[in-house]
Amino acid sequence: MTKAARPSLSRQLLPAVHGLLARPLSSYYLLIASSSLLLLIGLTMVFSATSVKAFHDSGSAFATIANQAFFALLGLVAFWLCQRLPASTLRDLGKYILGAAVVLLAILDLIGALVKVGLLKHPAIGPIRTDLLWLYLGPIGLQPAELAKLGMVLWGADVIARKGPALGHWRELSRPLFPVVGLLFVLVGYNDLGTFLVLLALIVGLLWAAGVRLRVFGALGVIGLAGIGLLIAAASGGAGSGSTTGGNYRLARLTDFLQPLDKCNLSVNCYQLIQARSAIFEGGWFGVGLGKGVLKWNWLPEASNDFIFGVVAEELGVVGCGVILALFSVLAYTGFRIARRSADPFRRLAATAITTWLVTQAVINIGGVTGMLPITGLPLPFISTGGSALVVTLAAIGMLASFARAEPDAAKALNARPPAKWVRLLWAPLPPVPPQRQPGPGRAPAPAGGERRR
């Protein structure tokens, strides 16, 4: 008598995975787990990337990590607040956040323009001063472009959800969506081409989730390519960090990317590409060890910000990079899963836009570090240093968490067995139970027990 063949490991694991994913709150837990791990890895890598420099500059190896931890704490507060807010409140907040971002961007660009034409000697007007993408009011600084992403998610999702089926007509897209998007592209793209690309991807994600016709995307693609070309050309006139006397740094990034490294000159962009590639080569499969990388000291530019993935590659190797890629993949899967399962059009559109934004930014950053895409100067979400960027990212994750709890099955499960009252007060209130679908005319109601008629 022969023994029955033992099922393979994949056949044993797949049913368990499917069972876990079928649970009502699986989207919520996947989102919390992936974002928490990314945040923890980010804090660790920021400390590793900046500890040596901070020690030499200020005498304290914990100066930069303390600053990043402070903004992470603010981000967790923003996560908690956004998780508690209902969709109606988020829809109302969208226009105010976007309006504030437009005003701040206009001030940032205006001060930069006044400096370039010689009307201001220093980029400051009273207590307001600028530093490239940063706007400071006294000691408080923020990046208005980060607020613009969040504002466009909420305002754009609200506008598109209100239009409904009428969105298929061009005149509905032209009032007020496209004029506001065009203004935002100009205000953001002049100083920051990378954020312009993220905003473009965010708008495409919104329109795709709304079911807009393909010819609209064709027109958007032509307009987007034309805008990218104009912004690259504008760098010769001083756009972003360019100057009228120096070369076009945006064009140099593109041309340096297209030529082999052995033929690359010793420009800033080539130096960045070579050092990032060296960090990946030195790390190998398992890395040299956390905190033991040497390229971050003086050779790898922006080691704690734009090129922090190079520090991960050197110290944690291919395995560490694979973990980060896997976590972003889980985040992407979870975000689009939340969008697909949301019954409310606003939640579906906002979840798609947030996921597109975070994944696109991660792809552009990692692609630039590994040499698969041109360098754009975008930070890696959750991982890179940055105050306002981290706070806004965690606020967006809080919105996704709110949408995950509002999925029809999750809302029913939470209301069927509600947590203790103090948990609801301190963490998040119960989501509303979705209304039961009524059977259409000529259609019999589904039989009890969930069985389908054949």
Is 446 inside any structural domain?
Answer: no
Residue 451 has pLDDT above 60, yes or no: no
| pLDDT at 244 (0 to 100) | 57
Is 241 inside any structural domain?
Answer: yes
Q: Let me know the angle formed at the C-alpha of 361 by 131 and 168, rounded to the nearest 5 degrees.
A: 110
Q: Tell me the average pLDDT across 34-52.
A: 87
The region of weakest confidence among 2-6, 202-206, 215-219, 383-387 is 2-6
Total number of domains constituting the chain: 1
Is 312 inside any structural domain?
Answer: yes
Query: Residue 430: helix, strand or coil by DSSP?
Result: coil
Is 340 inside any structural domain?
Answer: yes
Which token pair is 159?
């506008």
pLDDT (tens digit per residue) in 226-256 = 877 887 777 666 666 656 566 677 777 777 7
- Please give the residue range of the domain that contains residue 77: 26-117+145-428
| pLDDT at 414 (0 to 100) | 84
Is 395 inside any structural domain?
Answer: yes
Residue 64 has pLDDT above 80, yes or no: no
pLDDT (tens digit per residue) in 356-384 = 999 999 999 999 888 888 888 789 999 98
Is 332 inside any structural domain?
Answer: yes
| pLDDT at 447 (0 to 100) | 41
Measured in degrees and rounded to the nearest 5, phi and psi for residue 371 equal 85, 10
Report how far apart, in Å, the C-alpha atoms of 74 and of each of 182, 381, 398 are. 31, 16, 12
Whether the predicted model's global pTM rises above the 0.75 cut: yes
pLDDT (tens digit per residue) in 303-317 = 778 888 888 988 888
Is 231 inside any structural domain?
Answer: yes
Is 256 inside any structural domain?
Answer: yes
- Of the candidates 375, 320, 381, 322, which has an alpha carbon nearest to the alpha carbon of residue 355? 381
